[in-house]
Structure 1
């Protein structure tokens, strides 16, 4: 055995897999996790939206618009 940690992990995963198929297998409630990067993503989206509004091409003044 060169990697006893891998052997122990493999046995643990195999036992979980085999025992999960039983009708009386223990059930763990899965709680929804809060996204860790949500505030960062919102700040980035806001900054990109403001940048897009700032560099968005505008029609030249005095040119007729199609309606």
Structure 2
């Protein structure tokens, strides 16, 4: 064994990986993160919607045809 530290580290990593799949493995609860940019995103979306409504081409008015 030239690198005993690497061997020990590899065994530890392997044991953690194998044991993590067990039903009684410790579980870390994932907490939802606070949306930091939500108000900014909503404001930008509102501006872009208003801009799109102004830029959108209007339908050509239909001209009455003589029959």
Q: What TM-score results when the alignment is normalised by the length of structure 2? A: 0.51
Residues 23/58 of structure 1: CA separation in 2 closer, same or farther (3 Å cut): closer
Runs of 4+ in structure 1 off by over 6 angstroms are: none
1:36 equivalent in structure 2: 36
> 1:23 and 1:59, CA in 2 relative to 1: closer, same or farther beyond 3 A?
closer
Aligned to 2:26: 26
- Backbone CA RMSD of aligned residues: 3.0
- Going from structure 1 to structure 2, the CA distance change for 1:36 and 1:19 (only over 3 Å counts) comes to farther
For structure 1, the 5+ residue unaligned runs are 1-6
Q: Deviations over 1:31-61 (max 9, x none)?
A: 222333322221221111011111122246x
The structure with the largest alpha-carbon Rg is 2
Give the TM-score, by structure 1 length: 0.51
Number of matched pairs: 54
